[in-house]
Structure formats: structure tokens, C-alpha cells
Structure 1
Amino acid sequence: MSMDLALLNAVIAVAKAGGFREAARATNSNPSRLSDAVRRAEQQLGLRLFHRTTRTVMLTEAGKALLDRLLPAMTEVEAALDAVNKFRTTPTGTLRLNVPVSAARLVLPAIVPAFLARYPEIQLEIIAESNVVDIFQAGCDAGIRYDERLEQDMIAVPIGPRVQRFAIAAAPCYLDRKGRPQHPRELLDHACLRGKYASGIMAEWAFEKDGEIIKLQPAGPLIVSIGAAVDLAVETAIAGLGVVQLFEQWLRPHIEAGQLEPILQPWWQDFSGPYLYYPDRRLVPTPLRAFIDFIRELPES
């Protein structure tokens, strides 16, 4: 029996993602196309591969048996294609990275243009979001995180600045009205513009000086989701409506322009820079290998 590899890939994508919509997002496809591919695969096999309800999509026993044998085989197919790809003078293919919004804004602009200039036949796709996801379910080759605590089957490679820190600032007009705090606990009497993770957890404001660490949950008039909405908090601070804490790189242009004034600088807390992480497997896809080698060439900052 012969079957189009595209149909088998659709079955794998739906099984990994646990649904057609989730698989469509991970593969940059659409649910109806994947549903049709799975239906055709089932017709050719003469077996139902998934139990479908309005809420869930689960593998049948036949589907589980197929996936158990299919996944290692498809890995070998990818390895064979990648081995052939190595004979090209220029690496080619697609590289999908799942990254925090902060990395997309503060880290990758110094890397991506030069990488694409060196490898014009590689297509780089960046998926930026604030919550940590399973890179496999997201259909990505690698991801970026801001700490090195990764699963045992992951490899971490430093990328971007090795030390970063959080800055805190407010508009001069706000500080003229409300006063300039000299200790982090004084922020409890200020209007603080805060961020919330996708999980619903409010981000703590952390400070450190001479070995003393202080963590606060200040109050304020605005809460934004950590990610793209952070710019709204910055603009609100510039408008003189509160205090904002964010990556120093993010706030630095506004500080240098005089729109924001830094406060509590001796208390600004350092943290380790981000890491590129990817599965510890025998063969790394050629586009990802090119990217890893490229960032390892860059000087540490």
C-alpha cells in the first residue's frame, strides 16, 4: 500500500497537537485541510485513526499502533533528507523558533538580519509569545528561554547578552507630583503599571542590593499581559500615570530621550541572559545547525 507522505504528516501533526485547530496553528495550515488529509488517510487504510468528539480528538488503538511505528520511520526520512541537504553549498530549508516577545524585540534584531544575509536560502519563521510552550506541539525546531533550567532531553546554547537587568522608571512629571522613592517598599504608595503572565500569575517586582532581596506586588491603575501589550504600560508611564518596571534595554531609549527618569538604580536586579534550546537528538536539522553555529560565532556581550 502506498500513501502520500503529506497524509501521514497530517496524522502525526494532529496526534501530537491533540486536535485539528491546534495542529493547524503548529503547521501553519488550516483545520479543514488537515481534517481532509486525515480522512483520506483513514479511507486508504480502511481504519479509523482518531476518535472525534466536539471537544476532543484521540487516537484509536489502530492509530496508536500506526504512530508507534510511524514516528521513528518519519524521523529517519527527515534524517535522510537532511543528509542530502548537507551536499548543498548553501543550507536551505525552514527554521521555526518559538521565542518570548522580549527576545524578539531585544535579542533577535542584532542576530537575524546578519543570519539571513549569510543564509539566503533558509526561511526563518519567528513565533513570539509570552507563555512557555512545548516546542514540538507548536511545530517549532527550537525555542528561547530566559533560564537554563530545561528538560533533560534539551540542549541549551547561550544567545544574546549574557547578563541583563530590570530597570524601573517613571515620567519626570509623575515623580515631581508623587515624589522620588528611595527604597523599593515606598513603591507600595505609588501607582505601578504591572504585567500579568498568560497563566494569570501577576509578575513580581524584584530588587536586590548588598545581598538583600525584596519582592513586591505593588498596586496600580493598569495591568497588561506580558508580551506585546507591555508597550501600552510604557506609553502610560511616559504619559505620567505611573511607574513601570521592564528590561533595561526596553526602557533605555525612553530614558535617554528624557521621557522617563530612572529610579532606585542601586536596586536594579541582574538576571542571566537567554538560551536557545532544542531537543537532544542524533541529527539536528540543517537550518537549525546553521543557526546554532552562527550564534556561537558571535562575541558574548
Structure 2
Amino acid sequence: MERPDLSDLDAFVAVAHARGFRGAATARKVSASALSEAVRRLEARLDVRLLNRTTRSVTPTDAGARLLERLSPALDGVAEALDVVNAYRDTPTGTLRLNVPGIIARVVLPPIAADFLKTHPGVTLEVAVEDSFVDVLAARFDAGVRYEERLEQDMIALPIGPRVQRFAAGAAPAYLASRGVPRHPRDLLEHACIRHRFPSGSMPVWEFEQDGEIVRVDPKGPLVSTSVDMEVGAALAGLGVLATFEELLAPHFKSGALVPVMEDWWQPFSGPYLYYAGRRHVPGPLRAFIDFVKARREN
């Protein structure tokens, strides 16, 4: 049997992990047809079907699952071996793949990423924005950014961005003029509230805190969305009270387009962490980013 091409094996792993050709193509910046052809070529050389394809999903066959189990660490080893060369360069080169939630992509990562890429012009940064929980290693990311309660136990966590954040609440002046100003979290049960739903389908209750007292409310309102842009726009239009990250509302508080409400009840929480596997080789671009984040915090 002719030995398969390494690029075809890599294409199979990418598609199997992504559970689809389009997702893998987006991550690898190649066409879905090129990946499809590579997998077909690999299956022909091995004379066995590796992937079950339907219009809705792509899943490994039994043979494909066994190959994936053995092949993934082998390809990781090849990448690690090649990355050793980075130690002999003045600056690392390669791609750094991060998975971050939307709030991080909006207000935390942009200034850090801009300074990092200016310092390390040989690195390409790829950022995937997902608010749902993601196993960064299984999804082939180098690292992720999440909040403390979302960290996996076997990962190393490095503080990144602000160490304390708050959930804030606000509404448009016209709304407050017509409906009154809530003074206590339970007052929100009598107000129109704009809610956020995560991609998982969950819609957490609003939590407020004052002098150790925690109050949770589940208010109703005219809009539920997975888009913070939609939610902020609705609040600006006077549709109701919005509770979300303070950083998203602060510019509108400053301009007067929104008015803070119940500020003495805004709950603080720990800031985000960069997390990565501690039991494997750290690629050059990731090592450079870790060192950069550490140095930035010390300055």
C-alpha cells in the first residue's frame, strides 16, 4: 500500500475534529472542496471509509475513530518538532489560535493583540469567538480565554485583562421617565427588561449584590437575544432595562444615552484568564504570547 500523504492525514484530522468540511475549511483557510478531495484520496489509498457524510453532519466511522485516536497525537508531535526551530529565531513565527468569549473579543483582547502583533510580526493570530464552553485542545486551539468558573482543572490559568469586573444595569432616560427608576433588584419584576440567551439555550437569572446580600431575579421583557449589539440597541431605543458587562454600557453612561440604575447593587466578579495545557509542549507563538501577557501585567 502506498504511504498516504501527510497533508491528507492532516486534512482528515481537521475535518474529523470540526465535524464538517466547512468548519475545517474556515479554520484552515482552505476550500471545503480541497479538504473533501484530500479525504477521498486518503480513503482510496487506505481502501476504507473514514468518515460518514450526511447533509447535516460528518462523523468518523469506527475505522476513522481508531485512526483519529492514534493520528492526532502523532501530528501534534510533528508540529512540536517543527516548532523547536522557533527557538533559533530572534522572534517566533507561526500561527496562534485562541478561543475567546464575545466580551473578551470586544473590550479585553484588542489592545493586547495589537501590541503583541507589533512586537512579534512573524506571528499570525487567529481568534474564534464563542460564548459556549469549548474544549480548546480537542478543537485544536492553542489556548482560550474564559472566566474562573469555566476553567478546566488540568489547565494553567494566567490572568489577562482587568482583575475585577462588574455587571451593570441601565436604561434610557425616556424609559425611566415613563416607568420610574428601580431602586431594588426586585423592582425589576415590574419593569420591562432586555435579556441575554447563550448559544447553549440557557438564560441566567440576573444577580445583584450589596453588603453580602445576594438577590437573584428573573425579570421579563420585550426582547431576548444572543446578540449584545441587539440588546444594547434595544436599551438605547428605550425598550427597557439592560443588565450586562459594565464595559459595554460605560460609553453610553458617559454620553448620557443610558442612565445607571441600582449602582450600589452592581455585582463584582473576577476578571478573565488565559488558559492552556500544562502537560504538553508550548508552541513558540503561544510561549511568546504568555510571556507578553505576563510582562504587560508587571508593567
Q: How high is the TM-score relative to the length of structure 1?
A: 0.91
Structure 2: gaps (5+ residues): none
Q: Which residue of 2 aligns with 1:71?
A: 72
Q: In 2, are the aligned partners of 1:25 and 1:138 still within 8 Å (CA)?
A: no
Map 1:38-57 onto structure 2 (within 5 A). 38-54=39-55, 56-57=57-58
Deviation at 1:76, TM superposition (A): 1.8
With over 3 angstroms needed to count, the CA separation of the structure-2 counterparts of 1:112 and 1:58, relative to structure 1, is closer
- CA 173–56 in structure 1, closer or farther in 2 if over 3 Å, else same: closer
3-state SS of 1:89 partner: coil
Q: Distance in 1 between matches of 2:167 and 2:231?
A: 15
Q: 1 CA distance for matches of 2:139 and 2:67?
A: 22
Closer, same or farther in 2 for the Cα pair 1:121/1:182, shift >3 Å?
same
Amino acid at match of 2:238: G
- Alpha-carbon deviations, 1:109-141, whole Å to 9, x = none? 221111011001101111112222232454322
Are 1:289 and 2:287 matched, yes or no?
yes
Residues 67-88 of structure 1: per-residue CA shift (max 9 Å, x gap): 3432332222111101012211
- In the alignment, which residue of structure 1 is the partner of 2:197? 196
Offset at residue 49 of structure 1 (A): 2.6
Q: Determine helix, strand or coil for the equivalent of 1:107.
A: helix
Shift of residue 52, structure 1, vs aligned partner = 4.0
Q: Secondary structure at the match of 2:229?
A: helix
Aligned to 2:268: 270
| Cα distance change of structure 1 residues 243 and 61 upon mapping to structure 2, 3 Å threshold | closer
- Aligned with 1:260 (options 251, 258, 261): 258
Structure 1 residues 57 and 238: alpha-carbon distance in aligned structure 2, compared to 1, 3 A threshold: closer
- Post-superposition shift, 1:58? 4.1
Is the partner of 1:173 in helix, strand or coil? Answer: helix
Contact 2:17 2:139 in 1 (8 A): no
Sort the Cα spacing of 1:28 and 1:281 in 2 relative to 1 into closer, same or farther, 3 A.
farther
AA aligned to 1:11 is F
The one of 216, 229, 248 aligned to 1:250: 248
1:97 maps to 2:95? no
Any conservation in 2 of the 1:162–1:300 contact (CA below 8 Å)?
no
**CA separation of 1:144/1:125 partners in 2, compared to 1, >3 Å: closer, same or farther?**
same
Q: Please state how far the C-alpha of 1:98 moved relative to its aligned partner.
A: 1.1
Bigger shift: residues 93-102 or 152-161: 152-161
Structure 1 stretch 200-209 or stretch 19-28: which is displaced more? 19-28
Q: Which moved further from structure 2: 13-22 or 98-107? A: 13-22
**Alpha-carbon distance in 2 for matches of 1:72, 1:129:** 25
Change in 2 beyond 3 A, CA 1:238/1:176: same
Separation in 2, partners of 1:195, 1:51: 36
Within a 5 Å distance, the mapping from 1:5-20 to structure 2 comes to 5-20=6-21
- Matches of 2:39 and 2:154, distance apart in 1: 30
Q: Give a deviation string over 1:32-90, Cα, whole Å, max 9, x none.
A: 22221011112223333334455554444543443343233222211110101221111
Counterpart secondary structure, 1:161: coil
Counterpart code for 1:290? A
Distance 1:36 1:47 in 2: 15
Matched residues in 1 for 2:7 and 2:17: separation? Answer: 15
1:283: Cα distance to partner? 0.6
Q: How many residues align?
A: 298
SS of corresponding position for 2:98: strand
State the secondary structure of the residue aligned to 1:298. Answer: helix
Q: Secondary structure at the match of 2:199?
A: coil
- 2:188 — aligned with what? 187
- Counterpart secondary structure, 1:299: helix
Residue 9 of structure 1 and its aligned partner are, at CA, apart by 0.2
Q: Counterparts of 1:57 and 1:201 in 2: how far apart (Å)?
A: 26
Amino acid at match of 1:37: A
CA distance in 1, matches of 2:238, 2:62: 61
Of 184-193 and 55-64, more deviation after overlay is shown by: 55-64
Contact 2:184–2:262 under 8 Å retained in 1: yes
1:126 matched to which residue of 2?
Answer: 127
- Work out the CA distance in 2 between the residues paired with 1:52 and 1:109: 38
Distance in structure 1 (CA, Å) of the matches to 2:218 and 2:237: 22
Tell me, which stretches of 5 or more residues in structure 1 are unaligned?
none
- Which shows bigger deviation, 26-35 or 237-246? 26-35
Q: What is residue 160 of structure 1 aligned with on the other side?
A: 161
